[in-house]
Structure 1
């Protein structure tokens, strides 16, 4: 019998390059779709807030004030709230002011000089200049400039001068009201960010323990590189926490969470300093470990910190765990006596112990102790 040909052709045969590319694209598409669905689901509270606020702004200006097409009210509301992580009322207010400023200045120029190409340029230039005087944030000037350009180019609305300015003021007021009355849950973002920072911190210390026990062929520098990448995570936590605090202060529905958020603010301050201390300690250890000798004393100390960080993460949602965290850290702190750990007074190891002391002290302040109370838990150093 004559040989039969593959109806799909050799290009799509199993194991061919084309089949591999198709399978890879299918996996990528599936992954991207799942990520998009998760992203949209996480944005559901913001979508609800934005939708209700836009309808409210339109209703007030259209039905209440009689404006035929209050486009500005809707755009100001949307732009002021947005999808940004920083949903603090002050940020919403700043955005609303910037947008309304651009609208007002453009309407003044239209009223004085009419509509045209050179008036468009004048509106944008004047708006950007004044916006830069009022705020150092480049985004403030850009937002004001965009609105100024739109007002200068769009047809003049029926209703008299400054109609769009009034719509902008209504949109900004509705955005602020929505921030307080239809808040996005401030716990979801900041709590996830806090846990992420603490877990990365714990993972770094765990890796450091392994390198200290390994001795020869250790790679402490790799741990240092990881520690240097932590600051953006801390900054992200700070942004989401400040946003949560700002909303909780004005929202009657979230004010009861202020004590929890304030405790987390104290924790963030201590953890930020402790991670900076950790970088200093690891830099010192990259020098100490060049001799290839294991350092079990340091490994044991850091191993204790792993347990403390795990308890500290639990305390994010259970304040009753905090005393246990303090006890755990104090048991580590009392051991930070250079003469006890290294009776031979090896200066290299002693310097590491001295740099470990502020790290543990800052972790103690993260549990709510004052700096003086945390310092008192450390053994005294000889004069």
Structure 2
């Protein structure tokens, strides 16, 4: 045996030894425990789908019913309800097109190609994503090849539909806990990333670091996909909490998370403008007063406070006082401040309004807490106290 062959053999033995080691076995057992609920749901879904198709539809061999149920319930819990619907539609389209072609044109090479093109095209016209489109093509090919001659034309798509409906019912009635927990976790991440962006922008202004400001701008642009994920997670979580009896107690919390998405979206847009003007100021050498940099830093800390409250499962009302104090500080401009500096101050104030709305205020209430001038302080407790001391 050559030296290279001996080396490969030694490595193979080492890999096998690691795979058979106790730690490797424990890791596989841990993964099995984590996936066991999904495995059990797939098994129950397959059995129920077969039962529904044989008893209610009176189909003697409903192959596609348990297959569709297993495919749908084998999805991860993220966006599961939406994907179950998507897969069900895709499978049903593919099976129906396959049935039609086999019935009228038989099975063969050109029929397989035609079924694939037609099923995938119809799935796209139905608003399919890539997953639905591929499933439509795959199921059409299965009908046109493996089960083309069993004489059950036009019934198989009903089996697929029955399997998908069983899977949807199970996904709704026994969803994973992550479905209702994920929106709050995503909201915390988005707000925390917003706080990081603002904090990095303030530090870039202090250090006159244009590259750091540019990096913050790049990160700010990447917040939109995160916000889209949050919106999708909140929508699915609310659907599950509305329809699943075991998750209904989470409905009010999910409604609260859904309510923050709009003002959070606006706050992120404001922050992007703020970071952009900071990047411009550093690039062209415009001066930004230290007081304005402090405003950006305070805004970052207020945003992080909001994120911490969301992560703890509380409303963000605790962070209101931070924002109101910041609003008062932002009222005073600095004589001779550059255009970029004044835009930064304006965007701080606009972001404060949107974050106050995020804490549960109406937009009118939030605007009232952000004074327009030094002589127009917010109508909060501090002003009443000041007026009382003057009297």
Retained in 2: the 8 A contact 1:99–1:168? yes
Closer/same/farther in 2, CA of residues 36 and 365 from structure 1, 3 Å limit: farther
Structure 1 alignment gaps of length 5 or more: 1-7, 13-21, 27-31
Question: Partners of 2:347 and 2:152 in 1: how far apart?
Answer: 69
Question: Partners of 2:288 and 2:344 in 1: how far apart?
Answer: 14
1:363 is aligned to: 355
Question: Partners of 1:40 and 1:312 in 2: how far apart?
Answer: 37
2:153 is aligned to: 161
Aligned length, in residue pairs: 356
Question: Partners of 2:26 and 2:351 in 1: how far apart?
Answer: 40
* 2:241 corresponds to 1:241: no
Map residues 132-171 of structure 1 onto 2, 5 A cutoff: 132-135=124-127, 137-156=129-148, 160-171=152-163
Question: Partners of 1:35 and 1:350 in 2: how far apart?
Answer: 56
SS at the partner of 2:85? helix
Retained in 1: the 8 A contact 2:296–2:348? no
How far the C-alpha of 1:241 sits from its partner, in A, is 2.1
1:313 is aligned to: 307
2:382 is aligned to: none
Closer/same/farther in 2, CA of residues 64 and 362 from structure 1, 3 Å limit: same
Which residue of the other structure, out of 303, 319, 322, is the alignment partner of 1:328?
322
Question: Partners of 2:263 and 2:28 in 1: how far apart?
Answer: 35
SS at the partner of 2:245? coil
After superposition, the CA RMSD in angstroms is 3.7
Which residue of the other structure, out of 344, 358, 365, is the alignment partner of 1:352?
344
2:221 is aligned to: 228
Deviates more, 1:264-273 or 1:274-283: 264-273
* 2:264 corresponds to 1:271: yes
Normalised TM-score (structure 1): 0.78
How far the C-alpha of 1:134 sits from its partner, in A, is 3.2
Deviates more, 1:161-170 or 1:211-220: 211-220
Deviates more, 1:368-377 or 1:41-50: 41-50
Which residue of the other structure, out of 176, 180, 184, is the alignment partner of 1:187?
180
How far the C-alpha of 1:156 sits from its partner, in A, is 4.2
Question: Partners of 1:288 and 1:262 in 2: how far apart?
Answer: 40
Question: Partners of 2:211 and 2:101 in 1: how far apart?
Answer: 69
Question: Partners of 1:43 and 1:350 in 2: how far apart?
Answer: 54
How far the C-alpha of 1:309 sits from its partner, in A, is 2.1
Cα-to-partner distance string for 1:307-354 (whole Å, 9 max, x where unaligned): 3223312332556553221222122122222xx231445544222212
Retained in 2: the 8 A contact 1:88–1:242? no
Closer/same/farther in 2, CA of residues 193 and 51 from structure 1, 3 Å limit: farther
* 2:308 corresponds to 1:301: no
Map residues 85-234 of structure 1 onto 2, 5 A cutoff: 85-89=78-82, 91-135=83-127, 137-156=129-148, 160-185=152-177, 186-215=179-208, 219-234=212-227
Which residue of the other structure, out of 233, 251, 257, is the alignment partner of 1:258?
251
Retained in 2: the 8 A contact 1:249–1:255? yes
Normalised TM-score (structure 2): 0.77
2:380 is aligned to: none
* 2:41 corresponds to 1:52: no
2:369 is aligned to: 377
